[in-house]
Chain A
Amino acid sequence: MSDATSILIVDDEAPARARLREVLADLSPEFMHRIVGEAANAPEALAQIESQRPQIVLMDVQMPGMTGIELARHISARAAEADHDAPKPMPLVIFVTAFDEFAVEAFEVNALDYLLKPVRAQRLLGALKRAQTLLPAEHLEAIDQLVKATNTRRRHLSVHERGRVILVPLEQVLYLKAELKYITVRTREREYLIEESLTSLEDEFKDRFVRIHRNALVARPSIAGFERVTPTGEGEAGDPYWQVVLREVTEKLPVSRRQWSIVKGLVS
């Protein structure tokens, strides 16, 4: 890689991307860089980050489907899990926003860099130089704080699959089941694997998922009912237990005795 800083531009509006490109071009004598790509939405951005590995991402806050802040959270989550295998350098994010009172306040609190549209060349230069000096760890922490401050909950789970990032909308998820170090994400069509902790997922999406077992969270809307089962296998004379019948898929999930009292409250 050359000395030039690699930059990715993410904005859903074409003229806004054009503007950033032009301002960056004006800055090239003062700031060595190359633009490695442009993205108009979150999935495109994640794909480009995987393939191009930019050092800095200039990211719009208001985008369709997923805000820049939620996207940054996915990036930081990716960085957090990356250290298992080969460390993957994740990009520093500089936010670009037109006007968003709440977000701007949150940025100020978290000292993360943000630019106001229309972007001025000198202001952009300052942000780029500052970003270069920032430690990735600090940056990740700042993003996490920002997410908390703006109260942006994820609306998608990001799944990494053979170098690709898939965004699974939360409302499609029927249940989450912990298996060894992975969590199975079940949708109507298929299963995905993610590396997250079930407990933190439970905390984040309390209003949508209910814990039915030490290893499973079920989406409330996908619960069709409950069934009482008496184990009749050879030689085993276990106690009867309850299991969840789901909409849209045939498999059933057992409810642990400890959780049953809570789950029961949901039904009646």
Chain B
Amino acid sequence: MNTKINIILFLILCHLSPVIAIENPNRFNRLFTPEVTNPPLEEDGIHDPANGGIVTLQQPESAFKKLDKATSGNHVNWVKALESEKISPRFDLNDPTMKPMALDLNIVREVKGSMPNVIYPHKQHTLWLDCSNCHPAIFIPQKGANQISMAEIIMGQKCGVCHGRVAFGVTECLRCHSDKNKEDFEKTNLAQESNE
């Protein structure tokens, strides 16, 4: 009898706990509704929980446990995950040991205004992608030939073909606008102009 009452009390408290959880009035960003990150497949609104195969599919939460966190998207920093070798995706379909042919070339794009200039690093991209993925269908490999603005990126063109769809989105500003040396850049440019 006692154990049965224990079980009943346990069930009541367990199921009431989300209701009686007290919201912290001093929480950070209190006006923003917190997002449930990485929900289980049965609750994600897309997978059909009545599907028999759902029990075989892996839960995202378990895959992301050991990976570095990020603030948006899957809430995983995939670049860090690759660098730290916590994941080792194949570069070649049939040869798991093949090393990637990465190109280490940085393109610094000046932006008007006081946002830091954009540094586009080929290295971090060519570790995942191939030249043929972007050139020439999305970007012409020529200086001055590509007009890129935030508007286009948000609309899903240029960088927005991937960023904001499968790679980190537009809310992580400083990951792209990362040139700390903007002042020096402007000074050197002014000097160059005055010399001409």
Answer yes or no: do A and B interact.
Answer: no
B-side residues, CB < 8 A to A, are none
